[in-house]
Structure 1
Amino acid sequence: MKKKVYQPQPEHSAKIMGSGGLEVLATPALVAFMENLAFEALQEQLSPEESSVGTQLIIDHLAPSLTSQAIHIQITEWQTENCANTLSIPKPMLVDASSPPPSIVASW
């Protein structure tokens, strides 16, 4: 399955994005990272003339992570029915192994 490491920047903070008042990774930024990974994975399966668009996202963003912490996101399940693809991204994790992973659960 596909995986990628994202290094959030200050502009990905909840404070700057307007989704909160702290310098932590904003949920909209986390969603954008997950959508980017799904888009890239799907594009690998499509012809150059085709593309994809997300239609449903279910996410529980349960704990903060600092914008200075890299986030590892991986697609662990992929189901295809007709033209619909369902991707699962179960737990984006901090890359720094010395820190416990945040309690973030995302399903695609």
Structure 2
Amino acid sequence: MIEEQSKQFMVKNEDTALHLGSGDLLVLATPRLVAMLENTAKEIPSERLSDDETTVGIEMNLKHVKATPVGKEVTCFVKLTEIKKSILFFDVKAVVDEEMIATGTHIRAIVSRQSFMEKI
């Protein structure tokens, strides 16, 4: 059942803490790193979903331990570790130049697109 996915992202100016407003340095912003990891994780269950289903992120626990400058490539790794009904559990990590910059866990829920949007 364990499935893994990896994806690469190039750090651009618009990915920085200064640009996003989460800090004032030209380094990869934690909110952007979270989005990169979620983007990688959402691809794992896509083949097992019906056309009306999608997944939404419901929890992210992340330790962002090393800064990354503009121009570096970030590789995001996600591993689906457990499925409980419609809840998907992932281990996540991000690596730059073979050095881990972040590690954590992520949880996604499988939802009906229509039902989800009707509740908003």
Task: Bin the TM-score by the shorter chain.
Answer: 0.7 to 0.9
Distance 2:48 2:81 in 1: 12
**Farther off after superposition, 57-66 or 75-84:** 75-84
Contact 1:78 1:86 survives alignment (8 Å): yes
Deviations 1:58-103 (A, max 9, x none): 01112211121110111134210111110111x3101x35xxx144
TM-score normalized by the length of structure 2:
0.78
Identity of aligned residues (%): 27
Alignment counterpart, residue 73 of structure 2, candidates 51, 70, 74: 70
Q: Which structure's residues are more often strand, by fraction? A: 2
Relative distance call for 1:86 and 1:30 in structure 2 (3 A) is same
Indicate which of 52, 59, 62 corresponds to 2:62. 59
Pairing of 1:88-103 with structure 2 (within 5 A)? 88-89=91-92, 91-94=93-96, 96-97=97-98, 101-103=99-101
| Cα displacement (A) at 1:4 | 0.7
CA contact (8 A) 2:80 2:88 kept: no
Structure 1 residue 28: Cα displacement: 0.5
1:39 positional shift: 1.3
Contact kept in structure 2, 1:92 and 1:106, CA below 8 Å: no
Describe the shift of the 1:78–1:45 C-alpha distance in structure 2 as closer, same or farther (beyond 3 A): farther
2:9 maps to 1:6 = yes
Distance, in Å, in 2 between the alignment partners of 1:31 and 1:6 is 12
Size of the aligned set, in residue pairs, is 103
The RMSD of aligned alpha carbons is 1.4
The equivalent residue for 2:40 is: 37
**Alpha-carbon distance between aligned partners in 2 of 1:80 and 1:46, rounded to the nearest angstrom:** 13
SS of aligned partner of 2:22: coil
Q: Highest Rg: 1 or 2?
A: 2
